[in-house]
Chains A and B, each alone.
Chain A
Amino acid sequence: MFEIRNIAFSYGRSQVLRDVSFMVSPGEAVSVVGANGAGKTTLLRILATLAVPDSGTVMSDGQDALARPLRYRRQIGYMPERIALYDDMTVKEFLVYRALLKGEPAKRVRRRTSEAAEICRVTDCLRTPIRRLSAGIVKRVALADALLLRPRVLLLDDFLAGLDSGMRTIAGEILSSAAAFSSVIVTGHEVADFARWTTRILVLKDGVISAEVDTAGHDATVLCERVGAALEGGGR
């Protein structure tokens, strides 16, 4: 169980997150939506140990994740909003490098990279230099990197941004595949896609989770309207 309790964060005097709390079960994919500047990226950066919260805890399987960051980082896979890979490497070289860096034994690296490439559907371009890839493929390579060691928690920041509809479908399918072994937290604005591929949609507004919408058994249009209303100012 991945649990976020009372997370607050501020840049100087500007408070971005006031009291964010939610839980994600294993195998569950949760999306966090909100207006620009609502604090989605900041929240994920906190969860990825790239920022220190003013208060609050992040519990992973009952243990305080931020107190033991190194052990916690072994359990997470993070894909940042701004993706930058090593242009001079091929996809395979990059994935092997990342797997080795994350501490995977050399004899298991090939298997791990093959699995991740297969899940993210980048097997065809393993030998292609990263600089020649399109933005959508680069995003999938970055996702393959995040998935390399089958993390317990997968953090995807603005995952679907900039992708066309076909690519978004593929990305959604990858996301639901990843949810088979990870707790997935994904941020973005694509409510209709999230309605298809995630189990819950959390609405982040004014530094708190203002609404929580269960996607099961609801029509995407209805969900979009409910989330839209929550973003506009409605309740749960």
Chain B
Amino acid sequence: MSPVRVTFVRTVDRLRFQFSTAFATGVFLAVSAVLFAFGLERAEGGRLTLPAIWAAAVSPVLPALAAFLAMDVWSDERQTGRIDMLLTAAVRERDYVLGKFLGSWALLMGAVALFLVTSLVLLWRLAPAALANATLGDFVSAALILALQGALWCAVSVAASAAFFHAAAAAVASIMVTVVLPRGLWAAMTAWSDVGRTAFGEMPLDAHAVDFASGLVSSGVLVSYLVLTAAFLFLSGKAVACYRMVGRGARSLRASTAFVAFLTVVFVAMAMLLAFRLDVKLDMPMAGSSTAFSPRTRNVLAEVGGDLGVTCFMRRSDPRFRPTGRFLRQLTQEAASTGASRVSVRFVDPLWDLGMAERLVRRGVEEGSLVFERGRRLAVLSLRDGCSERACASTIRRLMTPPTRRNVYWTTGHGESSFDVYGAFGMSDIARNLAQEGYRNKPIDLSADKPVPADCALVVVSGARHDFSRAELGRLEAYLHSGGRLLVLLSVPLEGLSSVLASWGVRLGDAPRKAGKTLTGTDVVVSDFAEHEISAPLKGDRIVLENPLSFSPSAAAESGAGADRITFTPVASSGGVALAAAAERGAGAGSDLAVRPTRIVAVGDASFAMNGPLAARANANRDFFLNCIAFLSGTDASGSSGTGEGVLTSKMDRVARRRHLLWSAAIVPSAAALLLVMLAMVRRRRS
């Protein structure tokens, strides 16, 4: 048996049956659980993955547990005098150090594994929806970064224990090095260094945990942790060896040890510089991770073909800051992988970077925005609804293409929901998205004796409650016959409008009696999407329609031939009933005959894209609406910011959250600590 193994077994055995270990493990589980519960609540509806939230909850607590576990591995030996006994055995100091380090690290990882198991079991029992997109394999990279961080913190704690006579002093020193020093340096840097503040989004230690757990693995970070761990273990060995260096005769040994320690610091600095210089970033595919960008975004980034500057203008205390920072790191990596563009990111905090903030404000940029710059052009993306991949891609495309704006005309005068109403029943939210995509929203009154303007990209009828007059229908028909595009959102059947739709292949039906899954009894969860430009990107997502009407193909559908042929596609269905349909006349023939095909999309719910339903972000309603617009206007902007796979939905209400917190932060830690205490007592009684 090697001395390392003997020391490892002894260290584990000693720590495992200590009452203090039971207490520390209980506190660790409780604090991590509180952070995890609040992290879960904050991340609800966001793009942060479950492993990332879990790792972010454990990571800050690890240094304290490591300090507690390893604080007396050496100081106790020194205080009692047992170190004499150890150092006169024919064992190298480094073997002792390695054994003690591995012992404390194994227990640390045991506590982390215990927390993982309890977290997953509790979520499985109390919030199974949160686990819908996560597999145990997704937690591998989270466990990897926590293992790396845990190893470093244990190495630091072992070194502190070797250097200090008292365990408490060793623990304090360890906490100073692992928590106070890095976070203090970070705070100082954000306070005084403009370069540092704008270069880093968040505290690197936290960012490492979140990035690795999301599958964004960096070789530079990995090597740095390993090098630092090895260096601290090496210095621990030297600190133990110093115990022998008493007397005047050891002066030269002390000097050479100090020189070796200095060389170690230099080596570590050089190794880390080299590691970050040659940094290789891997994007590990993970279920539920948003690291995989859509083909559209990748195309947009490939088309940039040069430098793209992104400024995140936001306070660091803003809850959107961390996910935005992480998204921008992914974007930078994705751009680098395309090889065609280089994205440089800087962070401007209006509280700290007053000069830069003032310049941005003068350019009309409001706080909580992303500013994309390419050459002398600038495009601003407001992050009121968070940072979505789709919006960023659209903004970058807008930056690259000449400023041609397409007009979306919203009909008025029939009780429609207006795009400039900000209440729950208004559509200001989706209208803002359209503006971000490059559209200009305009009202149109068809009752006025004027045709639909020539600059109209499409007409939107958003929830008309009164029917259109014959004249209005005539103008609408004329517009459609000239290759017009129409989006109809209907909650009540209107005879006139129905007849227009029927003449273009779409027959409006009643609300279906049985229409599949429902959340509240009146709504319908739609997850059956056709292979259509609108719905194909939404596969795996779901949209929620409130008491929807149904559609079926009318006699006009599939009746014509050539350019007059109308195709009907049930884009979104539930229980075999089409709840949204698309009709197109002249598809495929248009390019030869220079005829613009007419397109109509009808959705059997007028409220699904209103501000209220859109606020419940756990659905793909927004993407569905924007895809409809993209199809109708003939742009390639279809996509999905994802809900089913990317967005975290735990579906926990307030009571469920309280129950989760009670179990995870109180009952389970107490039970675990009690169990460990009982094991220790049984062991003591036996011996």
Contacts and interface: CB of A to CB of B under 8 A. Distances in A.
A62 interface: no
Contact of B687 (A45, A88, A97): A88
Given A89-B687, A97-B10, A50 B247 contact: no
Given A11-B247, A54-B248, A106 B253 contact: no
A98 B243 CA distance: 20
Given A101-B3, A102-B90, A52 B85 contact: no
B82 A84 contact: yes
Nearest to A66: B249
Contact of B90 (A54, A70, A100): A70
Contacts of A86: 14, 82
A83 B80 CA distance: 8
Nearest to B84: A80
B247 A10 contact: yes
A51 B14 CA distance: 29
Contacts of B246: 11, 50-52
B278 interface: no
Interface string A47-84: 01111111100000000000000110110101010111
B88 A73 contact: yes
A129 interface: yes
A51 B81 contact: no
A76 B82 contact: no
Given A50-B244, A51-B247, A54-B248, A88 B17 contact: yes
A54 B249 contact: yes
Interface in B248-297: 248-250, 253
Contact of B14 (A12, A70, A83, A88): A88
Interface residues of B, number: 30
Interface residues of A, number: 39
Contact of B244 (A10, A51, A106): A51
B561 interface: no
A208 to B, nearest CB: 17
B80 A84 contact: yes
B89 interface: yes
Contacts of A194: none
A216 interface: no
B248 A49 contact: no
B88 A48 contact: yes
Contacts of B7: 101
Nearest to A71: B90
Contacts of B87: 49-50
Nearest to A11: B247
A52 B253 contact: yes
Nearest to B99: A101
Given A73-B89, A100-B1, A49 B244 contact: yes
Interface string B227-257: 0000000000000000111111110010000
Contacts of B90: 70-71, 73-74, 102-103
A93 B14 CA distance: 12
A85 B82 CA distance: 7
B3 A103 contact: yes
Interface in A1-18: 9-12
B92 interface: yes
A70 B92 contact: yes
A212 interface: no
Given A100-B6, A129-B687, A52 B247 contact: yes
Interface in A185-218: none
A49 B3 contact: no
Given A9-B249, A52-B253, A73-B88, A97 B6 contact: yes
Given A10-B247, A97-B10, A50 B88 contact: yes
A145 interface: yes
Contacts of B91: 101-103
B296 to A, nearest CB: 63
A50 B84 contact: yes
A49 B17 CA distance: 33
Nearest to B82: A84
Interface string B1-36: 101001100100010010000000000000000000
Contacts of A21: none
B241 to A, nearest CB: 11
Given A100-B6, A106-B1, A76 B249 contact: no
A129 B17 CA distance: 15
A37 to B, nearest CB: 15
Most buried by A among B3, B17, B84: B84
A220 to B, nearest CB: 32
A90 interface: yes
Contacts of B6: 97, 100-101
A101 B86 CA distance: 9
A145 B88 CA distance: 12
Interface in A121-165: 129, 142, 145
Given A73-B89, A82-B84, A101-B89, 17 more contacts: A11-B246, A49-B88, A50-B244, A51-B246, A52-B244, A52-B246, A52-B253, A53-B247, A70-B90, A82-B81, A83-B81, A85-B85, A88-B687, A89-B687, A97-B6, A98-B89, A101-B86
6 contacts: A45-B84, A51-B246, A52-B247, A82-B84, A88-B684, A101-B86
Interface of B: 1, 3, 6-7, 10, 14, 17, 80-82, 84-92, 243-250, 253, 684, 687
Question: Which 8 residue pairs of A and B lie closest in terms of their CB atoms, listed nearest first?
Answer: A84-B80, A52-B250, A54-B249, A73-B90, A74-B90, A78-B88, A52-B249, A80-B84
Interface of A: 9-12, 45, 48-55, 70-71, 73-74, 76, 78, 80, 82-86, 88-90, 93, 97-98, 100-103, 106, 129, 142, 145
